[in-house]
Structure 1
Amino acid sequence: MVTSVVDLRSDTVTKPNEAMRAAMANAEVDDDVLGHDPTAFRLETEMARIMGKEAALFVPSGTMGNLISVLVHCEIRGSEVIVGDYSHIHIYENGGISTIGGVHPRTVRNNKDGTMDIDLIEAAIRDPKLELVYPTTRLICLENTHANCGGRCLPVEYIDKVGELAKKHGLKLHIDGARIFNASIALGVPVNRLVKAADSVSVCLSKGLGAPAGTVIVGSKDFIARAKILRKTLGGGMRQVGILCAAALVAVQENVGKLEGDHKNAKTLAEGLNKIKGLKVDVDSIETNMVYFDILEGAHMTAQELRKKLEGKGILVNMKSSSRIRLVLHYQISESDVQYTLACFQQALTGAPDENNGK
């Protein structure tokens, strides 16, 4: 009988800890739409400082944060944004930049490490002399870490080069930094230095940092002033939002330092899975808290079948295809959880006795 659950579907599944719940219960609040919620102000001020930008704005979700950022930079309908063909903005955000903002995405192929070739980015920039027939390129978007590429980190040298390219052509640079703190920890680069070249960054608080909800977007004071108007237009203005911001402050203060442990656990999990017959993991590509693996034909099992077997043992995973699964580590997954997970995988694939049944 399963007595506990190891939830590896995403780092969004974390639950608020006792410190967060206490902070939420005791949060000083006011009407944030009127600009008077003191706890929201504290969070935004702190995030702007940490990210090295002038100002910040709390929004309900990462998707809204990216949407607002793109629309601020591409305020004229018919503008074009250069995005990776494997990026979250392009694939998983309901095409909002197009359907809501009238912004056209021009995709560039993402490499396995999440980068896009600089020369391909430059080649995708429209010639302004041909604006009669082409959309006008106004923005380049990067994603760090890059989720669909396995949680890979974009190095600061690469981001700087993209920033230089953007300035050369009079464009803006936005970073979807849903897991930017993971990248900072893995690369050993302060987060403010990592995003120095960016005009705006969206930072998710409810993934690796473990807050119950919310994203902060950062940029110049002018950018945030326009973003605040769009937030209201999109229905993202909330009242006593300090209750959520209080938990986010705890997450920022207490959980950034725990990300290194998530990365270590991910590496341990990847190495263990790769030793199990029928599974294949590119262990060298594990840089942060994500583990993608393939089920080989010799395993005679689909990802769906494996998922169901694991679920019966309290292991929850995320299918990406009929033969590919993603696991995401977070601060509420312990080293013992990792070992239990490996034992369950071994048993599910080989039929070996499960000595850890029930954990």
Structure 2
Amino acid sequence: MSQPRPCRATAHSNIALVKYWGKRDGDDPALNLPAVGSLSMTLDVLRSETLVSPAQADGFELDGAQIGGKPAAKVFAHLDRVWRLADLNGARPPCSVRSTNHLPTAAGLASSASGFAALTIAAAGSFGICDQLDGPARAQLSAWARMGSGSAARSLWGGFVRLDAGSRGDGSDCLARQLHGADHWDLKLLVVHTARGAKQVGSTGGMESSRLTSPYYPAWVETSPADLDAAQTSLAARAFEPLGAVMEHSCFKMHACMLATQPPLMYWNGATLEVIRAVWSIREAGGPRGFVTSDAGPHVKVLCESAHAAALAQQLREVAGVHEVQIVAPGPDASLELL
């Protein structure tokens, strides 16, 4: 093709209820294959919007600011990847990439998931690979998005999504699929913000440190498949207590693996712990029931039934160190718009 065409994509962040931490050892690093599978909930208001359009030279704008250095290099390396995977002829034409994150960037709220999913979709539309996200196109772009960010594979779909780690060296069985749409279950996720700004240790480097140095890493990998299956069963049956229990178990196993890494990976702050304790105390006292999870960042996410979301959120806003509590619902599929 002579020139890219302007295309905008929107992809929503997702939070893993059963966690992903670690890359598969021994396979092609470019495939970015996870060591364990994961199961996530796509979020309705936390999203990234990305416009890819023709330009005289490559340029990257994020939230209205021109970005260079390593972040821009990662964006354009991914555009090169999409161009190459689509087997398009010649060199990739220069592109302007303009992205807006409707969530904090690099703070443990999966901005890389929504960001790389939106970038992958917008690039595919811009390069003429697809005009709409039908089933085969969505599945293919999910695999390509995974190469930019492991969790981005899940953001191609709304609702509840499972990503299997697979075992083949070419990654052909490392596939994401939607288990249930956003209307499957009236759940809410409370996103409890306990800090401002980006985290100090990125997930990619942290995962590799855990793989190489944490004595708990092998157990983490070995026990994850059972958590995935248990969560999927509970999700299908809309069994809230069993789903919450396996979600918490997966979270704390992951953080135990992180803490045993050398040097230790501590993504939490004091407010993180106070929020976790508050959720447990409220639950034990017979109040609104919630279950906690936390990713590679200081924020806490609390899964609860919709009827209890407002009351539980209000109690958590009163915890010292909490900046904000957002109430989010299961979100929609990623979308593509040809301009």
TM-score by length of structure 1 reads 0.28
Structure with the greater alpha carbon radius of gyration: 1
Larger strand proportion, structure 1 or 2? Answer: 2
| TM-score calculated relative to the size of structure 2 | 0.30
